[in-house]
Structure 1
C-alpha cells in the first residue's frame, strides 16, 4: 500500500470513528493494566463481565494484594488461563507497590518487566493511558495489516515495526484502535464483510468480495461514475 493510500485508509476510518477507544472497561491506569493482562487469549466482553464487580473493590495494587490470589480467582474464573493470570496479577501488583510506589510506570521496559506483561500489553497501556504513539499488534491487527497490504510481516513485531514506519502523524495515536475495530467487526477472520468495508478499494486482499458492478482496481470511482450519469 502506497503512502497516499495509507493516509486515505486511516482518514476514512477516522471519519467513521473520530475518537476510537479500547472496548475494555476500566476506571484508572492500574485497572487498565489488569484488564489488558487478563485479556490475553480472551475476549474483551468476557473480561469486562469478570472485572465489573472486581473493579468495584479493587482500585489499586494494594487493594489487589489485600484481595489475594484465591480471592482474585473467584472473580476471574470465567476467563481462560485464570490460574496463571491471577498469579501474575498478584505478582505485578506487589512489584508496583514495592518498586513504583503503587503507580503504573509510563515506560515500556518497566512494564514488560512485570509478570504477565508482554510487549502488546505494554503498548496498549502506553497508548490508552499515556497517549503514546504505540501499536499493539493483536490477532486482528496482524490479520488486517497482512490481508490489506498495509504493513505485511511474518510476526507481530514485524507488523508493529511496519506500522511505526508507515502510519502518518495525524493517525498514530488512534491507529491501533481503528485497526482492531476494523478487524473485529468488518475484516473478520473467516469471512470479511467486504460490502461494509469503507476502504475496500484500497485493500490488496486478492479474495475480497467487491460490490456488484465495481472493478477490482477502482470500485469507489466506478460508483462515482454511475451516480454522476444517473
Structure 2
C-alpha cells in the first residue's frame, strides 16, 4: 500500500470521527489506567459497568489501596480474571503511592514496571491520557492492519512498529482509536461489513474473500 492510499484512508476516518477516543469511561489518568488493566480479555462495556460502581467509592490510589484485594474484588468480580486483576491493581496503587506521589507516570518504562501493565496498556495510557503518538495494537488493530494491508505484520510488535513508521504524522495521535473502532464495528473478524465500509475501495483485502 502506498502513502497516498494510507493518507486517504485516514483522512476519511478522520472526517467521519474527528475526535476519537477510547470507549472506556474515565475522568482522570488514574481511572483510565485502572480501566485499561481491567479490560484485558474483557469488553469495554463490562469494564464500564464495574468501574461505574467502583469509581464513585474509590478513584485514587489511596482509596483503592484501602479497599484491599478482597474489597476490590467485590466491585470487579463480574470481569474475567478478576482475582489476579485485583491483586495487580492493589500492588499498582501501592507503587504509585510510594514511587510516584500517587500520580500516573507519563513514561513507558515507569508504566510497564507497574503490575498488570504491559506494552499495550502503557501505549493506551500514554496516548489517551498524555497525547503521545503511540499504537496500542490489540486484536482489532492487528486484524485491520493485516487485512487492509495498511501495515501488515506477523505479530503485534511488528504491526505496531510498521504503523508508527507508515501512518502519516498528522494522523498518528488518533490512528489507533480509528483502527480499533473500525475493527470493532466494520472490519469484524468473521463477517466484515465490506458493503458498508468507508474505505472499501482503498482496502487491499482480496475481493474473492469479501462477503457478498
The question of a shared fold, defined as TM-score above 0.5 by the shorter chain, is answered with yes
Q: Distance in 1 between matches of 2:107 and 2:80?
A: 28
Say which SS state the counterpart of residue 56 (structure 2) adopts.
Answer: helix
Say which SS state the counterpart of residue 106 (structure 2) adopts.
Answer: coil
Q: Indicate the residue corresponding to 1:196 in structure 2.
A: 196
Q: Indicate the residue corresponding to 1:151 in structure 2.
A: 151
Correspondence list, 1:1-230, <5 A? 1-206=1-206, 207-209=209-211
Q: Distance in 2 between matches of 1:208 and 1:125?
A: 34
TM-score by length of 2: 0.98
Q: Distance in 2 between matches of 1:125 and 1:55?
A: 18
Instruction: Kindly provide the CA deviation profile for residues 108-149 of structure 1, in whole angstroms up to 9, marking residues without a partner as x.
Output: 011001001000000000000000000000000000001100
After TM superposition, give the deviation of residue 11 of structure 1 in Å. Answer: 0.4
Q: Distance in 2 between matches of 1:85 and 1:23?
A: 20
After TM superposition, give the deviation of residue 208 of structure 1 in Å. Answer: 2.2
Q: How many residues are matched?
A: 210
Alignment check: 8 A CA contact 2:191 2:211 kept: no
Which ranges of structure 1 fall in alignment gaps of 5 or more residues?
A: 211-230
Larger radius of gyration: 1
After TM superposition, give the deviation of residue 9 of structure 1 in Å. Answer: 0.6
Q: Distance in 2 between matches of 1:57 and 1:151?
A: 42
After TM superposition, give the deviation of residue 67 of structure 1 in Å. Answer: 1.1
Q: Distance in 2 between matches of 1:16 and 1:98?
A: 43
Q: Distance in 1 between matches of 2:94 and 2:154?
A: 36
Say which SS state the counterpart of residue 51 (structure 2) adopts.
Answer: helix
After TM superposition, give the deviation of residue 45 of structure 1 in Å. Answer: 0.3
